[in-house]
Amino acid sequence: MIKYDVRLANLDQHLFEVRCQISDPGKEQLFSMPSWIPGSYVLREFARHVVSISAENEQGPVEIKKLSKSIWECKNSGSLLTVAIKVFAFDLSVRGAFLDGERGFFNGTCLFLSPKGKEKDPVIVRLQRPEDSRCKNWQVATAMNTVEVDDAGFGTYRATDYAELIDHPVEISKYSDIFFVAAKTPHRLVIAGRHRTEPKRIAEDLKSLCEAHIDFFGGPPPFANYLFLGLAVGRGYGGLEHGSSSSLIFSRDDLPKNGDISRSIGYQRFLSLCSHEYFHAWNIKRIKPKVFAPYQLDRRVHTRLMWVFEGITSYYQDLMLLRSKLITPKEYLVRLGQLLTRVYRSPGRFKQSLTDSSFDAWDKLYKPNANSANSTISYYSKGALVALMLDLTLRKESTTTLDQIMRVLWERFGQSEQGIEEDGFEILVQELSGLNLSAFFDLALRGTEDLPLVDLLREVAIDMQFRQSLYDDVSGLPEKETIPRLDLGIRAQSTPKGLKLTEVLHNGPCEQAGLSPGDLLIALDGLQVDQSSLPSRLEQFDAGETVSAVVFRDDQLREFKVTLAEAKRDTCVLSLNDSSDKKALRLRKAWLGK
């Protein structure tokens, strides 16, 4: 058995102290820390946050030597060996560890050393109650199984092995608690961070949402209870899935206010995040690529199937909001239009295929640069569109749906967690549908052409149109103005000194004029320009006119002549077409319920 002892050592220095004790260590016992955390495909090298390490046995201190970036060795270890580390924790994201005077949070990958050869040993974790007076009202929230804990959750927990240990994030703070039962299974949402909300409303909506997911996969769920660990912030959005929990970060303004019976765009965004991470409890945590069974956390592990696990999940996250009646069909189409828009505003879709995007996640999606929009496509967004296209194709040409494919995936691969081969998904779809979909998959997965979604959506009584983006655009909504809008072909950040160009899109006016990422745009046509004034400046001109653009490039003042062009019609608007033929209306009703 491996025993870990976790202490909040210093809130102001953001330090956790963790002691790892093992019996019968090897004569040259190795310890390691993961290089990455499952669900986030980039090498984070958690060992770099270890600020001190020491070891001792029954006789006293033992030498511990670092062999590589994340491996240490103890020699002549005796019969009982304890290794103590202090870890700097100041990463506010869902992927790291954080500690200050207001809260503590950690993923096991950040704190727990793994003793080589003992990865399958059972684990005991003791979370010490902090002595600092600022922590007197703090409580522990985690999905890890308890052994003996006090009313605040401090005490002893257990895990079957190291893999399970690091799959349970831990929140330690003064948080709010929301409990509900879905499909006879206890669920809980804790929210840390300053916020005000309507807990009863959230509980009712999450109950409906979770029951829709459980019913989708054919229940009961693969966990005895489930925990959403939420952090409310001023600005932020994201999540990380785990087997019986998920970590979420969201804007406090997205939560429903007391007495508010509407489902605002922000609240829909919050529910969509919960839906995405909850779907992952089946799709990626248990249905997974064979190369992830088990995870190899000391190296990159490549798969061309990320679109299955993130793209299909992204497709269903909003569809589940519709099926649980948390949004209307029209609201669903707005959200789907926004998803389509994200893809059509990415010129990189013509350069990178979906399988390449999946394979290159480690270097491209998780490490964006100034050229990412021009050269890459997200397996989240395009993967969701391929899932949509596949679902509609199956509904139109067979008696099978993507719903049924996912249920069989769960039955054959998820319940055993054996992992699916790289070609396994394509083989399964064709087996169950009876269709030859080789050409479909070649286009959708390995090609870089636009998908024929306009015609496919028309066949399910949905009209798909495109308009120019607006300056206050959230996309997905009909056009508000008829005056053609001009566009510079840039993406920029507002700074006190001007507009810093973060991306210059291929074949756009600024690229053709010679501007580059990093340039600081300060004037257009001789007048100062910033984020708020740019729209009105451009409205003074017509497409084809040439204007002066003055920028700072490093410390040099440069002037370029930019020939203006109309903004592309890359903003998607979807609408119900109730005048479609009976077959299209029947297919739409089976898909959207309307």
Residue 455 — φ and ψ, nearest 5°? Answer: -65, -40
User: Strand ranges (DSSP E) for 242-302?
Assistant: 245-251
120 burial type by CB count under 10 A (0-12 exposed, 13-18 middle, 19+ buried): exposed
* Greatest alpha-carbon span in the chain: 84
Q: Which residues contact 363 (CB under 8 A, 6 or more apart)?
A: none
In terms of Cα–Cα distance, which of 592, 402, 370 is closest to 501?
370
This model's pTM is above 0.75: yes
- Which helix (H) or strand (E) segment is 177 a member of? strand 176-182
d(CA 572, CA 153): 48
Task: Tell how far CA 452 is from the center of its chain.
Answer: 27
Residue found by looking up tokens 């869902």 in the block = 94
374, 347 contact by CB (below 8 A): yes
Long-range contacts of 178-182 (CB under 8 A, 24+ apart): 178/202, 178/203, 178/206, 179/203, 180/204, 180/206, 180/207, 180/210, 181/207, 182/206, 182/207, 182/210, 182/211, 182/214
Nearest to 319 by CA among 388, 254, 378, 270: 388
Tokens for 556, please give them: 């040099």
Distance CA 239, CA 387 (A): 21
- What is the spatial distance between Cα 454 and Cα 462, in angstroms, rounded to a whole number? 9
pLDDT for 518: 98
Q: Which residues does the chain have with pLDDT short of 50?
A: none
Q: Which residue has the tokens 């700072």?
A: 552
Beta bridge partners of 586: none
Q: pLDDT value at position 515? A: 98
Give the span between the Cα atoms of 64 and 53, in whole angstroms. Answer: 8
For 486-542, how does the pLDDT look when each residue is reduced to its tens digit (9 = 90+)? 999 999 999 999 999 999 999 999 999 999 999 999 999 999 999 999 999 999 999
Rounded to the nearest 10°, the torsion over CA 470, 473, 478, 480 is -50
Q: What per-residue confidence (pLDDT) applies to 473?
A: 61
Contact assessment for residue 524 and residue 551, using Cβ atoms and an 8 Å cutoff: no
**Which of 266, 199, 258, 279 is closest to 237 using CA atoms?**
266
Neighbours of 583 (CB within 10 A): 12
Cβ–Cβ < 8 Å for 470, 461: no
Predicted confidence (pLDDT) per residue in 388-414, tens digit: 999 999 999 999 999 999 999 999 999
pLDDT of amino acid 78: 81
User: Left (φ > 0), alpha (ψ -120 to 50) or beta: where does 435 sit?
Assistant: beta
Question: Which of the 8 DSSP states describes residue 47?
Answer: G
Q: What confidence score (pLDDT) does residue 470 get?
A: 74
Q: Could you give phi then psi for residue 135, rounded to 5 degrees?
A: -100, 10
Distances (CA, A) of 591 to 327, 408, 578: 15, 19, 15
- Dihedral in degrees, nearest 10, Cα atoms 108, 114, 120, 123: -60
Element (H or E) spanning 339, and its range?
Answer: helix 329-344
Compute φ and ψ for 321, nearest 5 degrees.
-65, -40
Domains of the chain with bracketed CATH: 2-173 (2.60.40.3650), 175-277 (1.10.390.10), 486-566 (2.30.42.10)
